[in-house]
A and B are shown apart, each in its own frame.
Chain A
Amino acid sequence: MSMLKFLSKRLALSILALFGLSILIFVIARILPGDPARMALSPRAPDWAVEHLREQMGFDKPIYAQYYYWLTNALRGNLGDSLYTRRPVVEDIKQFIPATVELVLFAAIIMTVFGILFGALAGRYRDTWLDNSVRSLAYIGVCTPAFVFGLMFILLFSYKLGVLPTAGRMTPGVLKPPTITGLLSLDALITGNFAALGDVLKHILLPALSLALGGMGQESRLTRASISDNLRKEYIASARGFGIPNPLIMLKFLLKPSLIPTVSILGLDIAVLFSNAFLVELVFNWPGFSKYGINAMLRKDLNALSAVVLMLGVVFVIANIMVDVTVAWLDPRIRLEAEKQK
């Protein structure tokens, strides 16, 4: 019951933050110097047409009324038309988001699996060559921007070695699997189209890896620190004293509690992947949501821009709530704390 209370409080705060964010985005989109209606049409469009569009867009109303219209429309799933593609922004996003979700998903898997694996090994074999190399590589991973990794990988694997493609989601000649989920790899797997699956995996490997390395470094550092701290605690020694088999100690008594700090930032790291995808998609010419967002920003496409930022805000908030729930599940102390406050 108290968990529910904790969650509902958390949810209320998040909704408040999103509401504030919507005001912030609205203010940013409206401080633009120049007339959005004029920009949407052309500089030489007749004045009556601009005036008409202004009225249609609601720009002749006072600012709070404009915000009210914008917000109520946004809540109904209507974020306006893109000034560039001339289609509803929601349609555009629906079209582009599966590519980004696929990319982020692959990156998240690489990041979590290898980040935890390397971190756990480094923590277990603390101060050995293994530990030192993991730590050094983790630093480089954290300190290199994802787009730099992208360029380096393209140079190395695509141009020098010629083993992996540089751009896009698939080679143009390969038969595309029918759209079921929108995630090409999953669609290819479901329809049993293994030629397409191989091609998709080849295309996604480099962008996903360049996206993953930053978070991987961070996660391996956190895991290393907590593993090597916990390893020296007395409960591990007493578990050994009881004669519990070593693999069991390592997995159950050492790894599970040591993962709490890692998991607590995992959700945030995944949200950060969505944000770094903005740069990686640009490098690999990945036709996703982030590339759409970047183009909206470069073209000052206000409706698309507000929608993209708002969507990412939602992703971030959901990620944060998920983090809290997972941590409470992993760490009994937090659950007990919540019980006590009842």
Chain B
Amino acid sequence: MTARYLPQTLRGFQTERFKEGYSKFTRNPFSVIGLSLVLLVIFLAIFAPFVTPYPEHAGSYVNFKEINKPPSWKHLFGTDLVGRDVFSRVIFAYRYSLLLAITVLSLVVPPGVLLGLLAGYYHGTWIDYTIMRITDIFLAVPPLILALAVTSVLGPSMLNAMMAVCLMWWPWYVRLVYGLVSSLRNEYYVHATAVIGASNFHILWREILPNCVSSIFTKMSLDVGWVIMLAAALSFVGLGAQAPTPDLGTMISDGATFLPDLWWMSMFPSIGVLIIVLGFNLLGDGLRDLFALEEI
């Protein structure tokens, strides 16, 4: 920030910064598209019972008069083998996808960030080595494979899939925060706080953590997309959500058996995955550019 901000009050400074960020964010069409997609998906998911034409089709519902109907005005995305409206099911599946991603991230981020803070702050000590070597183990296998293995051993279900994804995801936050803290701990303001007698807790919590927050949130917005994609892959294989839960991966794999005749059964949920992942990805990239982060 330059000197022109100096005479202003803090409040003025903040609105000024917000305006500047807003204009920077909206200048990139990709970010705006991302934000719109994310807002749209969240809106549809929250108000699913009100915006879908057939909310009762989300669960186990059978209507043999309407089976295997191609897309029409009555059934925008067609109907499936037991006559359920695919459009309604895709919207309800967004609910589960978002719920899953939010649950996973809220379980994974706090321990990941805490371990990263400790390992980075006590850089070069046994704390650092222990935490980072354990992290390395989890990073030594592709997340999809270990998640598949864990779910297959625990038994296929949405909850187990979620646990498996959680088990796979925390190391990425450890690594991110570790990298940030390792450099932040040498900043002058951190040394200055230490000199005036602040506790380690104060330094970590009040000085270092706030400087990691934008990176953490950006990574989280990108990860919502990745977690949804991983969960879709798990249920595509048959190890995720089980019928009759509306789930994008399950719907794709069910429909894949009936290609090419009943193409709408798998293609619309596929596009559904693409839209939600794309939305969070564009948004995450927009945030990264906005905060000028490079580590993620």
Contact = CB atoms under 8 A, between A and B. Distances in A.
A164 interface: no
Contacts of B233: 145, 147, 279
A143 B144 contact: no
10 contacts: A20-B134, A21-B137, A139-B281, A142-B281, A143-B281, A145-B273, A278-B144, A278-B237, A297-B148, A297-B152
Contacts of B273: 144-145, 148
B277 A159 contact: no
A153 to B, nearest CB: 11
Interface residues of A, number: 52
Given A28-B150, A31-B153, A143-B274, A316 B137 contact: no
Interface of B: 30, 133-134, 136-146, 148-153, 155, 225, 229, 232-233, 236-239, 252, 256, 259-260, 263, 266-267, 270, 273-274, 277-278, 281-282
Interface stretch (A11-19, A95-103, A186-194, A326-334): A11-19
A300 B134 contact: no
B137 A17 contact: yes
Given A13-B136, A294-B148, A139 B278 contact: yes
B145 A16 contact: no
Contacts, number: 133
A159 B137 CA distance: 43
Interface stretch (A40-48, A80-88, A268-276): A268-276
A172 to B, nearest CB: 21
A203 interface: no
Interface in A285-304: 293-294, 297-298, 300, 302
Interface of A: 13-14, 16-18, 20-21, 23-25, 28-29, 31-33, 135, 139-140, 142-145, 147-148, 151-152, 154-155, 159-160, 271-272, 274-276, 278-279, 282-283, 293-294, 297-298, 300, 302, 305, 308-309, 312-313, 316-317
Given A20-B134, A283-B256, A275 B144 contact: yes
B270 A148 contact: yes
Q: Is the interface of A mostly helix, strand, loop or mixed?
A: helix
Contacts of B133: 13, 16-17, 20
Contacts of A20: 133-134, 136-137, 140
B141 A297 contact: no
Contacts of A159: 259-260
Nearest to A273: B142
A20 B138 CA distance: 9
B153 A148 contact: no
A139 B30 contact: yes
Given A279-B237, A300-B153, A309 B256 contact: no
B153 A32 contact: yes
A291 to B, nearest CB: 11
Given A309-B141, A309-B145, A309-B146, A143 B277 contact: yes
Contacts of B144: 275-276, 278-279
Given A148-B252, A297-B148, A297-B239, 14 more contacts: A13-B133, A17-B139, A139-B278, A140-B274, A142-B281, A143-B274, A144-B274, A148-B270, A148-B273, A151-B267, A152-B267, A276-B144, A294-B237, A308-B145
Contacts of A309: 141, 145-146, 149
A279 B240 CA distance: 14
B231 to A, nearest CB: 11
A313 B274 CA distance: 29
A305 B144 CA distance: 14
A143 B140 CA distance: 23
Contacts of A33: 155
B91 to A, nearest CB: 18
Given A25-B149, A32-B153, A148-B270, A155 B141 contact: no
Contact of A313 (B141, B155, B232): B141
A139 B277 CA distance: 10
B142 A316 contact: yes
